[in-house]
Structure 1
Amino acid sequence: MKLARPCKALENTVYAFVQVRTDRTAIYPIVPDGTNILFFSSCRESFGGTQSKILEIPLTIPDGEYFGIWFYPGAMRRFFNIDLSEASDTVFGLDFLEVPVFRNLHERIYDEVSFENRISLCERLLTRTQSNAGFIAYLDHTLSQIYQSGGNLSVEKLADRVGCSSRHLNRIFQLHIGASIKAFSQMVRMNSFLNNKYRYGTYSSFPALPGQYDSGFFDQSHLIRAFKKQGLQSLSPFVQEFMSDFYNSK
């Protein structure tokens, strides 16, 4: 897999460009983390809404390359006037974004041979499309608070810190992220646990609380319920191979 950071103009909205190559049919699992991705093969293009459970993407083209544009949580509305709550737990065609310049983008991407040229093409399109018209400063502040706490701040405390009502802040999250504050915080908490498990834990009993690095889970039954809710119970013990790169500090 290849991963590349975007140009400076996109550094706060696009997390990375990614390319995966496979020589046989495979499944590419993505752990829920609140990010969104535009995913391209040589014959199709897809938009992945915010997922509450692990998303398994089938890679079915023999000796194929798959290219993706990976957006930070809450960044999609800087480019596309869409309601992310309508795309939760769903994969759409790019027509959902209603931006003519992005139609049949997979054809233009695969006209380019190198990963770098594909990135340059997408950066030009995204830079032209990016807008601050829908930017909400306190959303970024709320996300920062959630990340810093590892997903362990209550909705009420977050709303109080940014100076608005819990109901209003939840509406903003549904619109811009496609998940409630509680659901998004649970994603962050789980990824924080997986990251701590990789850094400090052992893999002999998975899942298990890694001592003091419990990431806000009360006990093992609480952790197991969270695993099942996000569909993670079948993950390999070597969680670093499957966890979201967005939260992985490797």
Structure 2
Amino acid sequence: MLRRFTPSAALRSYVQCYWQAQGQEGSELAGRELLHPDGAAGLLFNFGGALERDGNRLGGTCWIDGPKRRTARLAVGETLDLFGVRFLPGMAFPFVSEPLTTLAGGDLTPGDALRRLELEALHERLGERPDLAGRIALLESYILERLQRHDAPQEPALTASLDWLKRHQGQASIATLVGELPFGQRHLERLFQHHVGLSPKRYARLLRVAHSRELIKQSRASVSLTDTALAAGYFDQAHFIHDFKAVTGLTPGGYRQYARHRYGCSYPARAILTLCGPRS
């Protein structure tokens, strides 16, 4: 069971959502869930059993989930009890005060790695609040306090660039984006590495593959994968397959089989575990 909660107005330019994911006895979600990258970062607090991600057992109780380059696989069972926050892409830097490129990749960063964030102490305080509303209020207060310590303003050019790439679903070229900016590509690259943790090109690829996944789910088997590739802006089938597999670990055909098995005839309507990121 996944529940998502909208942040207060004061944090909506930074936070996607707060979320809670719990396993249920006899749940159809038991097994493994695909956690697709969306260019965002977040915090995870574990109040259930030991977690297994990408086949590795995780130690600790809290982590920073930096921007992922590839789909992660989370083991899901009845003991799952996670709580967290998901920032918007490019908006975690004011909170962590750490270049996001140092947190990017595939592994979770243990909460004690950035001791100034005091995430372990926060986990203990959250554990003392058994009611979900109390946990959300405490986490939101903590984030607001952290942001108030950060003096640097938001980067309007970064926000505009992220919005532009999302609006174009990652299909337009970075050169076209740069042509609309008051500075060159090198400065754009530095902004993205610092605030997003990914290059503009890699972020655009995540958006493009995410759009491809949605097209596959929406069309079921009624549209050929060649037509899906064209709709996603790929004019070369090999390029489409390469990008899709590089991000998800599955070929487009393999993902279509997964989606058909995962949702049956009802996909893509059912909600599943995504930790506020793109659907599996």
Same fold judged by TM-score > 0.5? yes
* Aligned AA (1:92): T
Task: Say whether residues 1:74 and 2:74 are aligned partners.
Answer: no
Alignment correspondent of 1:46: 63
Q: TM-score, normalised by structure 2?
A: 0.78
CA distance in 2, matches of 1:180, 1:5: 28
Q: Report deviation, 1:173.
A: 0.4
Paired AA for residue 212 in structure 2: F
Partners of 1:21 and 1:63 within 8 A in 2: yes
1:16 aligns with 2:17: yes
Alignment check: 8 A CA contact 1:20 1:66 kept: yes
Partner residue of 2:220? 202
Match of 1:36 in 2: 41
Say if 1:33 and 1:244, in contact at 8 Å, map to a contact too: no
Q: Offset of 1:168 from its aligned partner?
A: 1.2
Report the CA distance between 1:114 and its aligned residue: 2.0
Consecutive unaligned residues in structure 2, runs of 5 or more: 48-59, 261-266
C-alpha separation in 2, matches of 1:243 and 1:213: 26
* 1:229 equivalenced with 2:257 (yes/no): no
Number of corresponding residues = 245
Aligned counterparts, 1:21-170, within 5 A? 21-23=22-24, 26-42=31-47, 44-59=61-76, 63-89=79-105, 90-130=107-147, 131=150, 133-170=152-189
Please tell me whether the aligned partners of residues 41 and 89 of structure 2 are also in contact (alpha carbons under 8 angstroms). Answer: yes
Give, in whole Å, the separation in 2 of the partners of 1:183 and 1:211. Answer: 20
- Cα deviation for residue 119 of structure 1 reads 0.7
Match of 2:237 among 196, 220, 228: 220
Letter in 1 for 2:23: T
**Retained in 2: the 8 A contact 1:45–1:105?**
no
C-alpha root-mean-square deviation of aligned residues, in Å? 2.6
Identity of aligned residues (%): 22
Partners in 2 of 1:134 and 1:95 — Cα distance? 27
> Which of 168, 182, 191 pairs up with 1:172?
191
What amino acid does structure 1 have at the position aligned with 2:86?
W
Report the TM-score, using the length of structure 1 for normalisation: 0.87
**Alignment-mate amino acid for residue 98 of structure 2:** I
Alpha carbons 2:41, 2:67 under 8 Å: kept: yes
Q: Name the SS for the 1:47 alignment partner.
A: strand
Query: Deviation string for 1:115-171 (max 9, x for gaps)?
Result: 221111100111111145152110001011101111122222212212111011111
Task: Note if contact 1:36-1:70 (Cα within 8 Å) is conserved in structure 2.
Answer: yes
- The answer as to whether partners of 1:193 and 1:213 remain within 8 angstroms in 2 is no
**Structure 1 residue 64 displacement after superposition:** 3.6
Structure 1 residue runs of 5 or longer lacking an equivalent are none
* SS of structure 2 residue aligned to 1:82: coil
Q: Is the 1:79–1:129 Cα contact (8 Å) retained in structure 2?
A: yes
Partners of 1:19 and 1:27 in 2: CA distance: 17
